Amino acid sequence: MRSSLFLALTLALGGGAAYIGTADAQSAREVRKQMEASMTLSGVINIGREGQVEGFQLDHPEKVAADVARMVEGTVNGWRFEPVLVDGLAVRARTDVRLRLLADNLTGSTMQIRVADANFGPVDEENKPSSDDVRALKLRAPAYPERAAAIRGQGEVTLLVKVGRDGKVADVVAERTNLTVVAPERQMQMLRDVFAKASVSTARSWTFSIPTTGKDKDAEFWTVRVPVNYAFDSRSERYGRWSAYIPGPRQQAPWKTGEDANASGSDLLPEGGVYMVGRNDGPRLLTPLG
């Protein structure tokens, strides 16, 4: 039966296990070489005039293991930012942050945990007009592909969408498709393909409201990043839990997005949102991650 080909991959802090249902599937050791385990957390950082962290509040700390929370708080409190300037003067600032924790050494008996990515919100988000941004007008969600649903395939597609001045989609690519199931490579490639095709096909009919104020209002086009999640539970239910996945290859957009090739944080975006690419309104972190 096709439904026996896939079993959800589970990972706990004390040790991880990948389950594969067919004899010709990759060995557990081979799977673990590809597998990454991450946890996405969020919170609020208060930044002092000299760029030091004056306070950090983790969202929903009750959902996070105490030792993990302590590690995150200790890491963030040791960060230093470039001072935030208003009219040339350094000021205190407050920013939202999304963090991705990565578990290394999955093939051993223990795991090493580090903060791998951080994505910061605008420091003046309350004062920034929403008309500065590309916003969603009509974003119909893709239907769950039948071939994937039949075998309980799950994953997330990150789309890069080129938005024209008419608010319509001029082009779109599936930047990356991460899977949260394990199977033979040909089956995983099938899942990546059907998830990507379903997402791209639906996205071509999306419409957006373009910026009418701000520094980007006169651009010829805009690039936005939109995450599309295919899962049988909501992301809110996974907050504070480790998520193991097989990362897919990253595809570049055929047009210039204005984003640094080494930019990080694109895997941290909450589902259901639209995120402008090539613009950073958040504070600049000086402390190296890791």
DSSP-derived secondary structure for 88-102: TEEE-EEEEEEEEEE
Q: Is the pLDDT of residue 123 over 70?
A: yes
Q: Which CATH superfamily is domain 1-41+101-120+131-281 in?
A: TonB (3.30.2420.10)
What are the domain boundaries of the chain? 1-41+101-120+131-281
- Residue with the bigger pLDDT between 238 and 215: it is 215
pLDDT in tens, 33-48: 666 778 889 999 999 9
State how far the Cα of 235 lies from the Cα of 268, in Å rounded to an integer: 12
Q: What is the pLDDT of residue 57?
A: 96
Q: What is the pLDDT of residue 23?
A: 37
Average pLDDT over residues 269-278: 79
Spatial CB neighbours of 137, under 8 Å, sequence gap ≥ 6: 167, 206, 207, 208, 209
Q: Is the pLDDT of residue 10 over 70?
A: no
Q: Is the pLDDT of residue 196 over 80?
A: yes
Average pLDDT over residues 196-212: 96
Nearest 10 degrees: Cα torsion 37, 184, 252, 210: -70
At 169, which helix (H) or strand (E)?
Answer: strand 169-179
pLDDT in tens, 258-268: 876 555 556 66
pLDDT tier at 272 (50, 70, 90 boundaries)?
A: confident
pLDDT tier at 186 (50, 70, 90 boundaries)?
A: confident
State how far the Cα of 113 lies from the Cα of 116, in Å rounded to an integer: 9
Q: What is the pLDDT of residue 4?
A: 32
Q: What is the pLDDT of residue 43?
A: 94
- Report yes or no: 286 and 81 within 8 Å, Cβ to Cβ: yes
Average pLDDT over residues 154-158: 92
Q: What is the pLDDT of residue 130?
A: 73
